[in-house]
Structure 1
Amino acid sequence: MLHHNVETFIGCDSSYRAAGIVLFGAPFDSTTSYRPGARFGPAAMRHESYGLETYSPYQDKDLTDGSVFDSGDLELCFGSSESALTDIESRAAEILRDGKMPLLLGGEHLVTLGAVRAVLRKYPDLHIIHFDAHADLRDDYLGAKLSHACVLRRCHDLVGDGRIHQFCIRSGDREEFRFAAEHTDLHKYDFTGLPELADWLRQAQVPVYLTIDLDCLDPSVFPGTGTPEAGGVSFLQLLQAIRTAAKTNIVAADVNELAPTLDTTGTSTATACKVLRELLLALE
């Protein structure tokens, strides 16, 4: 059984036994391709969450009414991506074995792969909903196949065609978009098509993994990230998309790519905290 973290995300102080959702952090950013700092994201979100209310007027729900356990951050090997992914996979698998939903806080986007590996073993018919500015479909980045620029390509290696649904994508090389046209369900620039997808996934009763790269937000809203891309969505658009995706059978999720030291105003961290609060409430 996992034990309480010293500092928890606000309102996430249920016991492990009673919890339906278990938070855990993966402070890893060793494959970051531009600006590092995402390893500090999980701790910053916990610390700054106390500037929020536990109550959401958007959903008329309160974190104190639910059962979320925050197990803290993993201690990961920065020198080995595979070692870090193995530890993430192990923690996600432990949470799933205990009948709970793992919710991973990154860290760079590569951390998603570790959680997806664990979730796929329990749910072999898994679909992935992916919010991001970047396609993340490179087969390798400067020779490395384990990179945050390749994470959805590695996920595709596991789940195959037609089971990765990508939204807000506005950056990638030509080959990524060509690969997506043949192998994934890619929606450029915004959340167009998400309501229809959510209806289909709900009717099909398939398990869903939701991965949120916070750089789907426009840099005017969220500058504190490693690879900001102009032309993103608004905070309110993202909240609506989260509520829409939550109508499906989500069995695991993550929020990643906050690099708090890149935004000394604290705006990006405050935004990430609110996104996490709304995601938790939508999933309860």
Structure 2
Amino acid sequence: MKPHGTPFLGLPAPQSDFETAAVVVLPFGYEGGVSYGKGTAAAPDAVLAASCYLELYDEVLDDEPCRIGIATVTQPVIPSSAGAMLDTLETTAGTLLDQQKFVAVIGGDHSITTGYVRALANRFERFGVLQLDAHADLRESYEDSPLSHACTMARIREITPHTLQIGIRSMSAQEARQVKEKHLGLCTMHRFRNGRFDLEAELDRLPDLLFITVDVDVFDWSVIASTGTPEPGGMLWDEAMDLLQMVFSRKTVIGFDVVELAQRDHDDNSPFATAKLIYKMIGMKYCTNKA
């Protein structure tokens, strides 16, 4: 795979060399699954551009996570068909996984995640999926498409039943009934803030191997404002970092994606925060030990 013209963090060689990098950042700006605002197609380039202005030193981890090597590859040609798009991401992510790379995908809308999860399912017998999101995404179909971004967790649960959804503050009555009837692991933002959710117990319920999908609309608008389906009342930065730190300390994270950022000309803050989120998660993977 060819190196991207704007490597994540603007890293020079040898820190950005593919052969020696532990992490590969994969841009995947598909937005065929959106239902409201657009802009996710341009999000990966916006995040990569913003990342060049991040400090490499992390004051919380007291380390420079980039020392483990972070390569950035060019975005593959993405088909317009949702099914073919998922096949492309599955193949691309799978190729990187087979080269022993930890893959961080920058979306793109949330419909892309199923492709990455398929790649993992071909290589890991048992793993879980943690979703941080404002929306449950459990619909069987939305706007006549079972591959809409509103159906992502329904598709993922066809691959693995081991899921946990946190930050939810928007769902249909049908989705709510499904959560209750099937006893799904789902924590609304209201329960999260009121301390009515035993996060440690829910994490213990999941397999040790864990994939994380972060829809940036999980965040409060003061953190990330530009997203296609915004919802008020989301997580603050420190709330999210504390949550992620607990997850990375207790589980073996085998990959992650960050999706649903919408590139907007008037907003430089949101892509910068998204870039920092990605770098923080890489740091939590490689610069901390399990508790």
> Structure 1 residue 224 and structure 2 residue 226: aligned?
yes
1:22 corresponds to which letter in structure 2?
Answer: V
The equivalences for 1:44-55 within 5 A come to 44-55=46-57
Alpha-carbon RMSD across the aligned residues, in angstroms, is 1.7
Greater CA deviation, 126-135 or 175-184?
Answer: 175-184
Return the alpha-carbon distance in structure 2 between the equivalents of residues 231 and 21 of structure 1: 32
Report deviation, 1:199.
Answer: 4.8
Q: Decide whether aligned partners of structure 1 residues 184 and 72 sit closer, same or farther in structure 2, where only a CA change above 3 A counts.
A: farther
Report deviation, 1:166.
Answer: 0.5
The share of aligned pairs that are identical, in percent, is 27
Gaps of 5+ in 2: 287-291
> Structure 1 residue 253 and structure 2 residue 256: aligned?
yes
Which secondary structure state, in structure 1, belongs to the residue aligned with residue 256 of structure 2?
A: strand
Which secondary structure state, in structure 1, belongs to the residue aligned with residue 5 of structure 2?
A: coil
1:102-128 per-residue CA deviation (whole Å, 9 max, x = no partner) reads 111100001111000000111121110
Return the alpha-carbon distance in structure 2 between the equivalents of residues 69 and 193 of structure 1: 37
The equivalences for 1:53-72 within 5 A come to 53-72=55-74
The equivalences for 1:184-223 within 5 A come to 184-189=184-189, 190=192, 192-199=197-204, 201=206, 206-223=208-225
Return the alpha-carbon distance in structure 2 between the equivalents of residues 170 and 64 of structure 1: 34
Q: 1:126 corresponds to which residue?
A: 127
1:194 corresponds to which letter in structure 2?
Answer: L
Return the alpha-carbon distance in structure 1 between the equivalents of residues 58 and 239 of structure 2: 16
The equivalences for 1:134-283 within 5 A come to 134-160=135-161, 163-181=162-180, 182=182, 184-189=184-189, 190=192, 192-199=197-204, 201=206, 206-247=208-249, 248-261=251-264, 264-283=266-285
Are the aligned partners of 1:42 and 1:73 in contact in 2 as well (CA < 8 Å)? no
Report deviation, 1:200.
Answer: 5.3
The equivalences for 1:17-56 within 5 A come to 17-56=19-58
1:204-253 per-residue CA deviation (whole Å, 9 max, x = no partner) reads 5x311111111100123211000010111101111112211212111111
Report deviation, 1:23.
Answer: 1.1
Q: 1:16 corresponds to which residue?
A: 18
TM-score by length of 2: 0.90
Which secondary structure state, in structure 1, belongs to the residue aligned with residue 122 of structure 2?
A: helix
1:79-123 per-residue CA deviation (whole Å, 9 max, x = no partner) reads 201111111000111011112221111000011110000001111
Return the alpha-carbon distance in structure 1 between the equivalents of residues 198 and 268 of structure 2: 32
Are the aligned partners of 1:23 and 1:72 in contact in 2 as well (CA < 8 Å)? no
Which secondary structure state, in structure 2, belongs to the residue aligned with residue 22 of structure 1?
A: strand
Gaps of 5+ in 1: none
Q: 2:104 corresponds to which residue?
A: 103
Return the alpha-carbon distance in structure 2 between the equivalents of residues 196 and 123 of structure 1: 23
1:6-52 per-residue CA deviation (whole Å, 9 max, x = no partner) reads 11110654322212221101101112111011111111000011221
Are the aligned partners of 1:258 and 1:269 in contact in 2 as well (CA < 8 Å)? yes
TM-score by length of 1: 0.92
Which secondary structure state, in structure 1, belongs to the residue aligned with residue 278 of structure 2?
A: helix
Are the aligned partners of 1:194 and 1:245 in contact in 2 as well (CA < 8 Å)? no
Q: 2:3 corresponds to which residue?
A: 4
Which secondary structure state, in structure 1, belongs to the residue aligned with residue 150 of structure 2?
A: coil
Return the alpha-carbon distance in structure 1 between the equivalents of residues 122 and 135 of structure 2: 26
Runs of 4+ with deviation above 4 angstroms: none
Are the aligned partners of 2:185 and 2:202 in contact in 1 as well (CA < 8 Å)? no
Are the aligned partners of 1:11 and 1:63 in contact in 2 as well (CA < 8 Å)? no
Return the alpha-carbon distance in structure 1 between the equivalents of residues 103 and 52 of structure 2: 22
Are the aligned partners of 1:187 and 1:193 in contact in 2 as well (CA < 8 Å)? no
2:257 corresponds to which letter in structure 1?
Answer: D
Return the alpha-carbon distance in structure 1 between the equivalents of residues 153 and 66 of structure 2: 34
Are the aligned partners of 2:23 and 2:70 in contact in 1 as well (CA < 8 Å)? yes
